[in-house]
Amino acid sequence: MKKWRRRLVKTLIFGVVAVLILLGTGVIYQQVSTRQDEKTFVPPGKLYSIHGDNMHLYTGGQGDATVVLASGWGTADPYVDYYPLYEKLAPYTKFAVYDRFGYGYSDVTDKKRDVDTIADELHELLQVSGQKPPYVLVAHSLGSLETLRFAQKYPDEVQGIVMVDGGSPEYYANETEDIASMVGGFMNQFRIQTGLFRLLMQSDAVVEASNASRNGLKLVPDDLKKVDTTALLLNYGNANTVDELRETTTNAKIVIDNKKPFPFPLTILTADYFGASEPKWDKTQAEFTSWSEQSKHVTVKDTEHYIHQYHPDLVANEILELVKK
């Protein structure tokens, strides 16, 4: 074999070995760091056994009604995300922030993420934890589907609903963007499992960019910001969150198939996205009022998707209006 061929073969072998070492190092880095994060990621609330898996619930406040807070898809730690809101609610009403399976401090379950299962899990969690209706249900983003399905299945326990830029079932039923394939796809999972995602999240600039739609978490204490980043590193791209995306269209159609205008109030809070909202979203938000005989639609100015991170006072006031009814 000529010398240049030997050199080429040696170079290729060296390159492959170097890549394998780097990948192996990344996998070890991811696994070791994950175990370290799990040791410090202590639930602020309580864990309850629901259908054989542990589900987390954080409660507080005082009063007769309980505000149940459902997070949107990809909100890694609802306890942190809803902090600005439940701090405003606590002096006036009881509240309960729950983590769906795959979120926050809850387990990752092997059960399918269909909307009936999720609604039933929430119902059992509220019962087992000793919460008492009536409930004012609050939902952000994709949390709207399980909230509506809960209200359809247990209407006698619901006093009212507030959607915080929650998507309507009609919007999700016609959504064509395949986010599940991106989040659950090979390249993204490769990035997570080899520690590349974790490495990127060590950059303050990357963390700030990931929190851009949440007002940079300016209303959240610094210690909770760190908790939020840890939650993202532990939960991003897990099987439950991916399955939730895959089931979105089917879940939305199930809710639509059982549509009957609610007899209790429904308040729709819609973000203006600082003047850059999409016409399709705005249209379905306006039509969302058809889901209740007592509906109200408010477009909130100067905010992104996470309205409660920009204007928690406004959101709290709308919730408390329903609590008092």
Whether pLDDT at 137 is above 80: yes
Residue 200: φ, ψ to 5°:
-60, -40
Place 38 in a pLDDT band, splitting at 50, 70 and 90: confident
| Range 270-279 average pLDDT | 94
What whole-number distance in Å separates Cα of residue 301 and Cα of residue 147?
Answer: 25
Whether pLDDT at 30 is above 90: no
| Range 204-222 average pLDDT | 92
Range scoring the smallest mean pLDDT among 18-27, 72-81, 228-237, 286-295: 18-27
| Range 314-323 average pLDDT | 97
CB burial readout 282-320, b (16+ within 10 A) else e? eebbeebbebbeebeeeebeebbbbbbbbbbebbbebbb
CA nearest 148: which of 287, 280, 252?
A: 252
Q: Is residue 134 classed as helix, strand or coil in its secondary structure? A: coil
| Range 72-96 average pLDDT | 96
